[in-house]
């Protein structure tokens, strides 16, 4: 796999806080709260500002979704 494919794969494996909120069907404030509580650990912030969007690993988001569905804390559409 060359560097271009690695970069594309890496970008696909990351989700912004907005992407996470859309994927899970919750508000961005909920995503921020989960990050503060440690339920979803951000990899980094997408800027130098403390209010910059957080970036999460897609695998972590999918794992959280599985836990939420299993405990029925989120209603499925």
Q: What is the pLDDT of residue 8?
A: 47
Alpha helices in the chain (DSSP H): 3-12, 17-24, 28-37, 58-71
41 φ, ψ (degrees, to nearest 5): -95, 120
Q: What is the pLDDT of residue 73?
A: 56
Q: What is the pLDDT of residue 74?
A: 53
Give pTM, 2 decimals.
0.72
**Positions in the chain short of pLDDT 50:** 1-9, 76-77
Q: Do 12 and 58 contact (CB within 8 A), yes or no?
A: yes
Q: What is the pLDDT of residue 24?
A: 92
Q: What is the pLDDT of residue 11?
A: 56
CATH class of the domain whose range is 14-71: mainly alpha
Tokens standing for 2?
A: 């060359």
Q: What is the pLDDT of residue 60?
A: 92
């Amino acid at each position: 796999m060359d560097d271009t494919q690695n970069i594309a794969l890496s970008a696909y494996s990351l989700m912004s806080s907005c992407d996470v909120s859309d994927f899970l069907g919750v508000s961005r404030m909920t995503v921020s709260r989960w990050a503060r509580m440690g339920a979803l650990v951000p990899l980094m912030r997408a800027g130098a500002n403390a209010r910059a969007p957080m970036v999460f690993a897609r695998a972590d988001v999918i794992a959280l979704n599985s836990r939420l569905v299993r405990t029925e804390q989120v209603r499925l559409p």
